[in-house]
Structure 1
């Protein structure tokens, strides 16, 4: 039996007013956030056209910086604003990032087998502590052996902490992790599912990959824990990826990043006291983390400046290429200036939507003079760059999500030897690519253009 017409009118009126007020509130929040004009315009258009859908989507996914939840990383290195060793170092120090550190030991790992052996040796030789942070730990032979190695060290009295992203490790080796907990290790998940929708955390994933042994040695890079990334028995299905080992004073920055992430996940402060060695090699490196726990966007903004300053080469390797408009424009301008711009992407990645989205950006760069290299032998998952006499590698893809949303960690390299190692890796990779960019049909180009309008909403 239906209620009185007046009651129905009042109910509808209250609902409409409520949606309008909530939409205006969300629009106000949007205008307060540091976003590109394209991103803000895309969200507001979404709110106007589909408010009933846009408001809940924004509450779950729209927040980009969560300063109340993610306090800025407290870096132990108080010696900011040292004399910069490079123009990029100067830029990053202006963002209050840790300065570049000389006399470090850096070793590039560019094969699944070498990486697996280096990682297992690092765990086996740890004496006091092992702190691990990964986006993905898979339930396969590599994932289980990794967790079992940590379990053996925990039983031997080594302090073991394992932190994983909840979405990334939905299908982890849970039985092995249970044994790890029973051995006395601390195992936590970052940004779990059970949280308030208004927190916006579901859109802020921890994409960092770090292992710290005894607060003195670091394993990091683009590789997660899984057979696709690393294995002592690689197959034709193994991916092409990069990782590295680092020793020296720069390790302290990784300890600070891990401490910050662990405190968010656990809700408890921790103290890392073991000092890293002050010198270990010939490399000059600089850790640049990014994400909601960094007040500004030093990685994104620093790369824009680097691209505009480049005069000889810009080589980029990334599995997913969906850059922000400022990064895309900087690449185009560099190519038009005659800089040797090369972008290496997999022929086909694991993300069809990302492959679809990259088309317009890659063609824009190619039209300006860049060369697009499509890697054909396998899935190419590496995230690396060589810009003139500097290089970078780590966890960040060259896309909107990595640059402006995810928790990431990139290592910049300024010494000739390390830059040469990464340059040689690029040269070998280019030799396994083709440069025939497909020419899409008109319907596809129109679809890509529509998608490009919505991409900033990420």
Structure 2
């Protein structure tokens, strides 16, 4: 009797899932893979689908009330740049997806590695007059967090508001004792989709991977660096952690503040009033500053904005395209764009870390190397520690720096944010940095890679199978 009930229930759940895949499947290849998993792996296939496979763009599981945020208020529309020139279509695409126009007169400072980044961050935090908004995917206790809590206590005593969002899974090790200290001194702190058994299936696979700090709505930081002492001291297993961050001052900082405000509403259903922006009129009068556009994306959006942004930058490349990213696991569209550009004569160079923080992810990344090398794409393996930067620079004209990797997880499951900079000197600065790191790296050749051991090929094949889930 119980066996019959079990199989009847199993059949009904499987039927429901199959219908859901057929109605809401994002991609035919993924839909077929999930159908095969359900038919060939009893119970386990359904469990994996419920955990990793649902198309949240269709289901809108978080039901974020975005209507209140769609029309950017002043000052976010101030000093909007004309969407024209070579990258007009990209500017329009980002504006329609993320609702942020390109803006002029932004002051930028490129920050490489942890020491430089945190010196700049703490300097900005010390000068906060009204509020500090901060969110990170990984927030690990240590010297940095101890220094932060002391600074927050001082600033709150002087009337500064401090808000903090941490990802419930990325910052899973964050102790209750530390959170209680934050709340005791007056920090408003909330987790993004914390681990809870009741919503295990609906939340575990969707993370907030953004790293944002905004001070007084005027100065902001974003990039790949998390709050972790390994950016200062290195890692026992991997050694030094190398990463890139960006300091922004101007209207682009207000746009990042707006991204934080949307996430704040998501975690606690509270709205934040935007601070009035006071531009540096000296920069305006002298017509100096960078043209910057913020692109933010997440699984609740109608379209994968970061994937479309990367895709467009690749297709627009005429002379060269340099990419630094630890997790280059391209889907069909990005892979096709890269190969088409390379075969068409564009100098495509990728830089990834030779050392990996996850073996399966590393196998997956390397599983695409052979076909990339065959099409003429140059691949460099950076040997010193772990390279975590997420950078694209092209044609001495455009660059993007932020949190998004080149994989389905960043495009489909994570909340991400990048800054696109339309500026020749800034692009050349990143180009020079890439070439400097390339001189320290090992360049793979197609012939060399064909001779790799069969054991490595087998690992890569295993990693490629799981690449859509990574």
Q: Same fold (TM over 0.5)?
A: yes
TM-score, with length taken from structure 2: 0.88
- CA shift digits 1:264-307 (9 cap, x unpaired): 211x2212231223455511111111112322111102322322
* Deviation (angstroms), 1:91: 2.6
Mapping of residues 384-395 of structure 1, within 5 Å: 384-388=391-395, 389-395=397-403
Match of residue 150 from structure 2: 148
Q: Indicate whether 1:204 and 2:203 are aligned.
A: no
* Deviation (angstroms), 1:199: 5.1
Match of residue 442 from structure 1: 454
Match of residue 43 from structure 2: 52
| Higher mean C-alpha displacement, 317-326 vs 95-104 | 95-104
Relative to structure 1, the CA distance from residue 393 to residue 309 in structure 2 (aligned partners, 3 Å threshold; closer, same or farther) is: same
Q: Indicate whether 1:293 and 2:300 are aligned.
A: yes
Gaps of 5+ in 2: none
| Higher mean C-alpha displacement, 448-457 vs 329-338 | 448-457
Q: Indicate whether 1:263 and 2:272 are aligned.
A: no
* Deviation (angstroms), 1:213: 0.7
| Higher mean C-alpha displacement, 104-113 vs 441-450 | 441-450
Q: Cα RMSD over matched residues?
A: 2.4
Conserved 8 A contact 2:367-2:463: no
| Aligned pair partner of 1:97 in 96, 99, 103 | 99
| Higher mean C-alpha displacement, 410-419 vs 144-153 | 144-153
Gaps of 5+ in 1: 1-7
Aligned partners of 2:357 and 2:466: how far apart in 1?
21
Relative to structure 1, the CA distance from residue 374 to residue 252 in structure 2 (aligned partners, 3 Å threshold; closer, same or farther) is: same
Conserved 8 A contact 2:258-2:274: no
- CA shift digits 1:41-63 (9 cap, x unpaired): 11111111114112222223323
* Deviation (angstroms), 1:68: 4.3
| Higher mean C-alpha displacement, 23-32 vs 238-247 | 23-32
Aligned partners of 1:385 and 1:456: how far apart in 2?
22
* Deviation (angstroms), 1:82: 5.3
* Secondary structure, aligned partner of 2:101: coil
Aligned partners of 2:442 and 2:6: how far apart in 1?
56
Kindly indicate whether structure 1 or structure 2 has the higher relative contact order, using CA contacts under 8 Å at least 6 residues apart: 1
Match of residue 114 from structure 1: 116
Match of residue 42 from structure 1: 33
Relative to structure 1, the CA distance from residue 198 to residue 171 in structure 2 (aligned partners, 3 Å threshold; closer, same or farther) is: closer
Match of residue 3 from structure 1: none
Q: Indicate whether 1:29 and 2:20 are aligned.
A: yes
| Aligned pair partner of 1:361 in 329, 349, 368 | 368
Match of residue 131 from structure 2: 129
Aligned partners of 1:27 and 1:456: how far apart in 2?
19
* Deviation (angstroms), 1:139: 1.5
Mapping of residues 20-419 of structure 1, within 5 Å: 20-33=11-24, 35-65=26-56, 67-71=60-64, 73=66, 74-75=69-70, 77=72, 83-84=83-84, 86-87=87-88, 88-95=90-97, 97-172=99-174, 174-194=176-196, 196-197=198-199, 200-230=202-232, 237-266=239-268, 268-278=269-279, 281-388=288-395, 389-419=397-427
* Deviation (angstroms), 1:231: 7.1
* Deviation (angstroms), 1:201: 1.0
Conserved 8 A contact 2:98-2:297: no
Number of residues of Structure 1 aligned to a counterpart in Structure 2: 445
Aligned partners of 1:168 and 1:198: how far apart in 2?
15
Relative to structure 1, the CA distance from residue 59 to residue 184 in structure 2 (aligned partners, 3 Å threshold; closer, same or farther) is: same
* Secondary structure, aligned partner of 2:418: strand
* Deviation (angstroms), 1:132: 0.5
* Secondary structure, aligned partner of 2:208: coil
* Secondary structure, aligned partner of 1:207: coil
Relative to structure 1, the CA distance from residue 230 to residue 418 in structure 2 (aligned partners, 3 Å threshold; closer, same or farther) is: farther
Aligned partners of 2:363 and 2:61: how far apart in 1?
36
